[in-house]
Structure 1
């Protein structure tokens, strides 16, 4: 068994988009963390570049605003599915199912929607003074406090588990999700090569032996 070279920086990002909705198979540690570095560079670098564009007189503000929309909205939405597909393959690489990534995705989706979807609730209103005090209530605000806390803690716990799994090395053996992307067992190949070589040598040597043992060769 030998270790294959790690996935390269550019190769990892290409695999990330090629396997956009691939929740099967296995992905090794280098592939996962190279993609994480790509996201960091694009989000931080793109955000800084968009901010600098605002300093350009005239069209700078328009270009900068468009850049922020791409970096802060379009790109994060575009990588949601392939990110969880990659995380699922990372779990598969450790012999784990996609249960935790799915639950983590659902919880993060609920928490995100709770910040976007809200409803205004009137706390105090004085009709005579045309004065009203209200607050924006998130989606989870209608749930019991203990359930809100439980959802938050569970989301944090699953995030920590996913982080730890992403740091673990690939398992050497083949599992139900496929062969290891890092370790290759060449014992079968060697045995077949040895058998092939032995058969070939017998095939080559057989005519010589027959020629030597032939009583009519003289």
Structure 2
């Protein structure tokens, strides 16, 4: 699968939490998303510099910060937030489809996914979150149907 085909599949399967996604489909989108996120950060920094944002001498006050933003930077941040909201659902569905592709049974797919989301919400800076993220990464790297015939966890085992 090419990057272009992966991108089309990403948007085509916006709410598809039941299918599968190959390693190529998943990792092409991770690469594309990482590159775009890096470009977004660089563009945001440049916009902030050109907008004249500088640390305030007084205590950091959200109202002071908001009143010093230029109109262009506000538009940039609003559009950025909308883009984030637009890609969160297909990103989650892509992760679920990738986990399903490894051959885990349906219950474990949702357990792994729930643990991933909960560890991100609850322990954003803890060791538990790091361990869970590493385990999720390992699951995402495995080839298609790696766990399909594994006793108790595979989709072909009852």
- Give the TM bin, normalised by the shorter chain: 0.5 to 0.7
Q: Structure 1, residues 145-182: CA drift from partner, whole Å, max 9, x if none?
A: xxxx9xx44332221111112222223898897xxxxx
Which residue of the partner structure matches residue 40 of structure 1? Answer: 34
Q: Which has the higher contact order (CA 8 A, sep 6+)?
A: 2
Please, which of 45, 58, 64 is the counterpart of residue 51 of structure 1? 45
Distance 1:23 1:165 in 2: 17
Asked if structure 2 preserves the Cα contact closer than 8 Å seen for 1:47 and 1:67, the reply is: no
Q: Structure 1, residues 100-120: CA drift from partner, whole Å, max 9, x if none?
A: 1122113323457xxxxxxxx
* Residue pairs, 1:5-44, within 5 angstroms: 7-44=1-38
Which residue of the partner structure matches residue 111 of structure 2? Answer: 99
Asked if structure 2 preserves the Cα contact closer than 8 Å seen for 1:29 and 1:167, the reply is: yes
Asked if structure 2 preserves the Cα contact closer than 8 Å seen for 1:50 and 1:63, the reply is: no
Which residue of the partner structure matches residue 142 of structure 1? Answer: none
Please, which of 131, 150, 157 is the counterpart of residue 157 of structure 1? 131
5+ residue gaps, structure 1: 1-6, 113-148, 178-218
Please, which of 67, 72, 85 is the counterpart of residue 93 of structure 2? 85
Q: Between Structure 1 and Structure 2, how many residues are aligned?
A: 130
Report the RMSD for the aligned CA atoms in angstroms: 3.2
Distance 2:32 2:73 in 1: 21
Asked if structure 2 preserves the Cα contact closer than 8 Å seen for 1:47 and 1:68, the reply is: no
Q: Structure 1, residues 57-85: CA drift from partner, whole Å, max 9, x if none?
A: 9xx943234223433x3333332222221
Which residue of the partner structure matches residue 127 of structure 1? Answer: none
Which residue of the partner structure matches residue 60 of structure 2? Answer: none
Which residue of the partner structure matches residue 63 of structure 1? Answer: 72
SS at match of 1:169: coil
Distance 2:70 2:42 in 1: 14
Q: Which of the two has higher C-alpha Rg?
A: 1
TM norm structure 2: 0.65
TM norm structure 1: 0.49
SS at match of 2:14: coil
- Taking structure 1 as reference, are residues 65 and 42 closer, same or farther at Cα in structure 2, changes over 3 Å only? farther
Which residue of the partner structure matches residue 206 of structure 1? Answer: none
